[in-house]
Amino acid sequence: MAGTKDAEWTAESMYALGMRHATAEALGNLEETMATLVDEPVYEFWPMGKRMVGADAVLRYYEHLVSDFMPAQIGYEMIAETVSPEALSQEYTIEIRGEHGEPETHRVLGVLVAAQDGSGLMEGERIWGSDTFLRRMIGPTWDELETIER
């Protein structure tokens, strides 16, 4: 398959991969979601500078996301989307039910990053959001996150 170091890998290729990943995630299809990622994906969370590394951690994150976090979503709206051969960036407002059922609106930026190994897969994601939002989204794997040395 093509990768970002391959002349055939284009912004359109990255967009198609990003849509495949996002669609599988939205449908709760964890097998297909994980199939869009390299064997050792890296997910970074900003601005707190944390990350999870490896398929096991990422799968646990997605299990929580699909079973607990996504049902708490009330809705979302895409604000902006930018694509290049290296990444697909999507900015959203996401409305979720708060701890006491009240609606909360959060602004989130997600960057789906293409692998540089020519695999045609994603190496992971970089997600920016508030501490409150990311803690809820990440769930029980929060305590396993590594600190990114700056």
Under a CB-based contact definition with an 8 Å cutoff, are residues 141 and 61 in contact?
Answer: yes
Domain coverage including residue 99: 11-147
Q: Per residue in 46-94, pLDDT tens?
A: 999 999 999 999 999 999 999 999 999 999 999 999 999 999 999 999 9
Residue 95 belongs to what H/E stretch? Answer: strand 87-97
In-domain check, residue 46:
yes
Q: Is residue 34 part of a domain?
A: yes
- With respect to residue 1, please indicate whether it lies within any of the assigned structural domains: no
Amino acid at 48: M
Task: Write down the pLDDT at residue 3.
Answer: 45
- Residues 99-143 pLDDT 10s: 888 999 999 999 999 999 999 999 999 999 999 999 999 999 999
Mention every residue, 6+ apart, whose C-beta is less than 8 A from residue 146.
50, 51, 52, 53
The pLDDT value recorded for residue 7 is 58
Which CATH number is 95's domain given? 3.10.450.50
Q: Is 115 a domain residue?
A: yes
6 lies in some domain? no
Number of domains, the chain: 1
1 pLDDT higher than 50? no
* pLDDT beyond 80 at 10: yes
Is it the case that residue 21 has pLDDT exceeding 60?
A: yes
For residue 86, give every residue at least 6 positions away whose Cβ sits within 8 Å of its Cβ, in sequence order, or none.
4, 14, 113, 114
d(CA 125, CA 50): 12
Q: For the whole prediction, is pTM greater than 0.95?
A: no
- Give a yes or no: residue 132 inside a domain: yes
CB 9 within 8 A of CB 121: no
- Residue 6 — very low, low, confident or very high, per pLDDT cuts 50/70/90? low
Whether the CB-CB separation of 62 and 33 falls below 8 Å is answered with yes
Asked whether residue 3 is assigned to any structural domain, the reply reads: no
Q: Give the model's pLDDT for residue 4.
A: 47
